[in-house]
Amino acid sequence: MSDARANGQTPIIISLVVSLMLAIAPAPDWAEPFRPDWVTLTLIYWSMTFPGNYSVGVAWIIGLIVDVAQGTLLGQHALAFTIVIYVTVKFHLQLRQFPILQLTATVFALLALYQFVLFWINGVAGVNAPVVAYWGPVLSGTLVWPLVSIILAGLRQRVRR
């Protein structure tokens, strides 16, 4: 890998590491159900922006890391990330053209799909969780998506320079 390509990917890798740190950072008990899915939001952005480099394989690896870090069923987040990122990569050309409001609604649907997959896996495994544990991250993730996309777009512009 050339130095220019490695330097171009370093901020992206750092953003993924920061999102992983935000996902496992402790939060007060009242705020825990409303923690945005930082990793999912970051993966959606980068897979929409660079679908050839950050797609299903990266989502699977990051999902396994999240499973190990959070102590959940191995492969649970990996499967959910893979499904969401597959849909994102499949429609990345259309998603890039959406205005921010329409893209935010689409991110809501992608986050709901992610939580549905987790809900389904937990149901099969017999793990019970309150409803707010599934809808809280969807709502908070939708609310912070415009901010996340602006921050990551600024990071992408710096990488180009």
So where are the chain's domains? Answer: 3-160
pLDDT at 3 over 80: no
pLDDT in tens, 44-69: 999 999 999 899 999 999 999 999 99
- Half-sphere CA count of 101, side-chain side, radius 13 A: 0
0.75 surpassed by pTM = yes
- CATH number (1.10.10, 1.10.3470, 1.10.1760, 3.40.1130) of 3-160 reads 1.10.1760
Tokens at 79, concatenated: 């499967």
- Residue 130, C-beta contacts closer than 8 angstroms, at least 6 positions apart: 33
Distance CA 91, CA 99 (A): 15
Residue 117 backbone dihedrals phi, psi, to 5 degrees = -65, -45
Tokens at 105, concatenated: 């609604």
**Four-point Cα dihedral 34, 38, 39, 42, nearest 10:** 140
Mean pLDDT for the stretch of residues 13-38: 94
Percent of the chain with pLDDT over 90: 83
